[in-house]
Amino acid sequence: MKALIMMLFNVKEETYHPIMYFEHPFAGEDNDVYRFKSKGHRTIGFKDREEALASIEKEVTPQLKKYEVYKELEGDIPWDGEETPADNQLRNKESLEGLLVS
C-alpha cells in the first residue's frame, strides 16, 4: 500500500498542517492512476513551515513503516480553516517518480 504526505496551509490562521493520504484503489480494473484519500492531518498547525516539515520527519513518517511513502511537499494545499479538510488526490505512476522515500 502507498501513503502520500502533503502540506495544508490554513489561510485563515496562517498555519501549516502535514496531511496524510492513503491509497484507496478504484474498483475494477488496474490502471496507471492511483487514488489517495485523506485520513488525517495535524490538527494543531505550525506557524513556521520548517517546523511543520520537521514534524513530518519526526512524527508522521515513522508511523508509516508498512507503507510505500511518497512525499509531495512543493506547493501547499490551501485550506479555508473551516470544517475538516477531506479530499482525494489522483496521481499517475510518472507523477510519483522521485517522491518515494521508503
- Domain tally, the chain: 1
Q: Is residue 41 part of a domain?
A: yes
Q: Is residue 15 part of a domain?
A: yes
Q: Is residue 38 part of a domain?
A: yes
Q: How far is the CA of 2 from the CAs of 8, 48, 64, 78, in angstroms?
A: 19, 28, 9, 23
Q: Determine the structural domain holding residue 22 and report its residue range.
A: 2-96
Res. 43: pLDDT tops 80: no
| pLDDT at res. 29 | 67
Q: Is residue 35 part of a domain?
A: yes
Residue 54: count of CB within 10 angstroms of its CB: 13
Q: Is residue 77 part of a domain?
A: yes
Q: Is residue 102 part of a domain?
A: no
- Cell for 43? 490538527
> What pLDDT digit, counting tens, does each position of 56-87 carry?
999 888 888 899 999 999 999 999 988 888 88
| pLDDT at res. 88 | 93
Q: How far is the CA of 39 from the CAs of 4, 66, 70, 98, in angstroms?
A: 10, 16, 15, 23
What's the pTM?
Answer: 0.88
